[in-house]
Amino acid sequence: MTRPRLVVGNWKMNPPTIAEAVALARAVVSAAPAGDVTMAVAPPAVALAMVAEAVRGTRVLVYTQDVHWEDKGAYTGGIAASMLAGVAVGTIVGHSEVRRDLGDDDIRVARKLARAIAAGLRVVLCVGESEAQHLAGETESVVARQVAADVAPLRANRERAAQLVIAYEPIWAIGTGRPATAAHATAAARMIRRTLETAGLPGDGTPVLYGGSVTAAGVREFSTADGIDGALVGGASLKAEEFGAIVRAFA
Ligand code: PGA
């Protein structure tokens, strides 16, 4: 089965200014390889509009890092999916740092996913086990539980399933310089697809990305891994040349 390939750069709370975000976006455009791997950057919300302007008409797409679970109202600091029209084609949902820092549980992640999908956004849903769960051999059960809960709203909206991509991001591999192995990522991807099928969603047709300490030097482990269709890249996405090299590895 050939699935679309996608590499997303999650800039997190970087770079320090909007001007630097725009400069980085321009550099990413310059370093973008030719080919049909979809590539996107996810800048901080405050820089979205300027970054979107900087990459308009190029092959670099813009995602946001998170979205609110309600569509409007008294939610100070919140950003509704509808507000992203014209600046982002998609959103990350369920990133482990957001789950950790903002208290998102699977119920809230599912609601965010539903809002984003209904607004026509593409979604990169992040799942992954903690270090303790990894050491306890619970990776596959944790991932299955997260996926089943988080995609629940899509069951009633199956024709939108093509908007969904899942990023497998073991928490112990994020920002640690200690990526998982191809075999570990492949096993997780297989469980993700099996869980999607059980939910009546297209497992085989859904792209699965790997995320966690992906670098240009180490990307081959994942670009050649069975069942892995791209990457969600944090730290290395802040260097345009390196990000371009990671995209190229998936071409
Ligand atoms: P990292 O982050 O590449 O810096 O490990 C990945 C992520 O959190 O998406």
Would you list the domain boundaries of the chain? 6-249
What confidence score (pLDDT) does residue 2 get?
86
Q: Which atom of ligand 1 is nearest to the CA of 215?
A: 3
What confidence score (pLDDT) does residue 132 get?
98
Q: Phi, psi (5° rounding) for residue 239?
A: -115, 110
What confidence score (pLDDT) does residue 104 get?
97
Active site residues: 95, 169
Tokens of 1: 């089965």
What confidence score (pLDDT) does residue 157 get?
87
Domain covering 6-249, topology = TIM Barrel (3.20.20)
Looking at the predicted structure, is the pLDDT value of residue 124 above 90?
yes
Q: Ligand 1 pocket, 42 CB below 6 A?
A: no
Secondary structure of residue 88 in the 3-state scheme: coil
The reported pTM is 0.98
Q: Which atom of ligand 1 is nearest to the CA of 214?
A: 3
Q: Ligand 1 pocket, 242 CB below 6 A?
A: no
Q: Which atom of ligand 1 is nearest to the CA of 174?
A: 5
Q: Cα 182 to the chain's mean position, in Å?
A: 18
Looking at the predicted structure, is the pLDDT value of residue 94 above 80?
yes
Are the beta carbons of 139 and 187 closer than 8 angstroms?
yes
Looking at the predicted structure, is the pLDDT value of residue 81 above 80?
yes
What confidence score (pLDDT) does residue 1 get?
73
Single out the residue of 44, 39, 35 nearest to residue 55, CA to CA: 39
Give the least confident one: 35-49, 152-166, 181-195.
152-166
Ligand 1: residue whose CA is nearest its atom 2: 234
DSSP sequence for 186-218: HHHHHHHHHHHHHTTS-TTTS-EEEESS--TTT
